[in-house]
Amino acid sequence: MKRFEYLAPTSLAEALEMLAHYPNALPLAGGTDLLVQMKESHRPVEALVSLKRVFEIHQVEHNEAVIRLGAAVKAGVIAADERVQTAYTALAVGLGLIGSRQIRNMASLGGNICNASPSADSVPGLLALGTLAVIVGPEGERSLPLETFFVAPGKSALQPGELLKEIVIPRPPENSGSFYFRHTTRAWMDIAFVGAAAAITLDGGGRIANACIALGAVAPTPMRALEAEKVLFGAMPGHEVFEEAGRIAAAEARPIDDLRASADYRRHLVIVLTRRALEQALSRAKNGNGHGS
C-alpha cells in the first residue's frame, strides 16, 4: 500500500475543509471496502479523511414523520435498532446480512451506499422505502432521491469534496410492511447474486394502496422495478399478482453472466425473491408490524 496522509477531523466543517485542501483525499468510514481496495489494487490515495470523530454524522433521529440516519452509523447498530426492525424492516434485514458481526461493527451505512456496489445489501431496502440522500460539500447542502445517487458500478453522484451526511426515510403509513431477501451460495460472508426488497401499504379494504420493488445485483446500479410495481397498485394481494410482479421485474432487470451466476439464473431468482419479499411485506402490513408506532 502506498503512503498516505491520515486526517482526523472532529466536525463536519473541518472534514469538508480537509477534503477541499486535498483534492485527491477520500473519506474513510469503517474501511471495510476502502482499505481492501487500497491494498488489493494499490489505488493511490493522497489522504484519508477519517469520519470516526465527525459527531454530526453518527446520530440517529426518529420522529413522527421520518427517521434520519447519520452516514457514519454502523450497520450493526441500525440492524439491532427495534424501531428500524419494526418500521423499516427491509433496511434492518439488509444491514443484518452484511459480512459478519465483526464487519457490521465496522461497516457504516454511508460506506455501503457510497461504495456504489450494485450488490450492496442496504440499498434495495432503502430504495423500496423511498429514501432521500443528504449530501454536504463546498457549495452547501443538497438532497436527492437515493435512486438517482447511483451512476455506474462504483460511481455515485457525489462530486469531489462532497460527503454523504445522512439519509432520511419517511415513516411508512399505517398498514405498511417491507422486507428484503438475497440469494448467496453461503449464508454469510458472501455477495448477493440477486437482492430483492419490497414495501407494501394496504388500504382500508385490504387492497394494495402503494407498493415498491427494488433489486440489487441485476443491473449496473441498484434499481426500482417500476413496471412490476404498476400491476400491484389497487390489486388484492396474493400469490398470482405477486408472481406476475416478479416476472415483470425479471424482464426489467439487466443482469450479466459472470463467474457467480448466469443472467438467466439471476432472472429466475428475481421472480422468486420478489414474490417472497412481497409476501413477507404483506404479512407485516396485515399484522401492523410495519408502522413503528
Ligand X SMILES: Cc1cc2nc3c(=O)[nH]c(=O)nc-3n(C[C@H](O)[C@H](O)[C@H](O)COP(=O)(O)OP(=O)(O)OC[C@H]3O[C@@H](n4cnc5c(N)ncnc54)[C@H](O)[C@@H]3O)c2cc1C
Binding region for ligand X (CB under 6 A)? 26-34, 36, 51, 71, 75, 97-99, 103, 106-108, 110-112, 114-115, 120-121, 158, 163-164, 189
Rounded least distance, CB 123 to ligand X, Å = 8
Query: What phi and psi values does residue 107 have, to the nearest 5 degrees?
Result: -70, 135
DSSP state of 53: T
List CB contacts of 233: < 8 A, sequence separation 6 or more. Answer: 208, 209, 210, 211
Of 107 and 129, CB closest to ligand X = 107
Q: How far is the CB of 3 from ligand X (least distance, A)?
A: 18
Residue ranges in 136-262 assigned as alpha helix (H): 226-232, 239-252
Smallest distance, Å, CB 28 to ligand X?
A: 5
Q: Please say which residue, 77 or 231, places its beta carbon nearer to ligand X.
A: 77
| Nearer Cβ to ligand X (135/278) | 135
Question: Of the two residues 211 and 261, which places its CB atom closer to ligand X in the complex?
Answer: 261
User: Which of residues 111 and 172 has its CB atom nearest to ligand X in the complex?
Assistant: 111
Instruction: List the beta strands (DSSP E) in the chain.
Output: 5-7, 26-28, 47-50, 60-62, 66-70, 132-137, 140-145, 150-152, 155-156, 163-170, 176-183, 194-202, 208-216, 223-224
Name the minimum Å distance from CB 186 to ligand X: 10
Least separation in angstroms between residue 261's CB and ligand X is 16
